[in-house]
Amino acid sequence: MNHELTLRELVGSFAANGTMGDQLRIDKIEPLWKESEKIILNFEGVSSMTDSFANAFIGNIVERHPEDFRAKLRFINCSPLVKSFIKGALQYAQSRLAQA
């Protein structure tokens, strides 16, 4: 089963708050993780985000699920700026995992 989350509905056009990002992961991603084949994160309408949000939301998903995040997570409708923050969060989380 696939689940899609529309981030604009949850965080608005600017995802700025790291605490909110981690709470979003806890409330919206973790309950779906085991039952989902794919979790689609739709960034349509999100024009920007902070490193804090990206690391708390996306980075913590990666760190919590290092074995299967690549198979489950999909990012769609990302602006070039949002893509750069997602890429940075993925790299940061993977570097933290490598050091652990």
**pLDDT tens figures, 81-96:** 999 999 999 999 999 9
Helix (H) or strand (E) holding 71: helix 69-72
Sheet holding 73-76, edge to edge: 2-6, 38-42, 73-76
Domain that holds residue 73: 2-99
Question: How many domains is the chain partitioned into structurally?
Answer: 1
What is the pTM for the complete model shown?
Answer: 0.94
In sequence order, what are the residues at sequence separation of 6 or more whose Cβ sits closer than 8 angstroms to the Cβ of residue 61?
Answer: 25, 29, 69, 73
Q: How far is the C-alpha of 14 from the C-alpha of 3, rounded, in Å? A: 22
Q: How far is the C-alpha of 76 from the C-alpha of 20, rounded, in Å? A: 20
- Tens digits of per-residue pLDDT, 62-82? 999 999 999 999 999 999 999
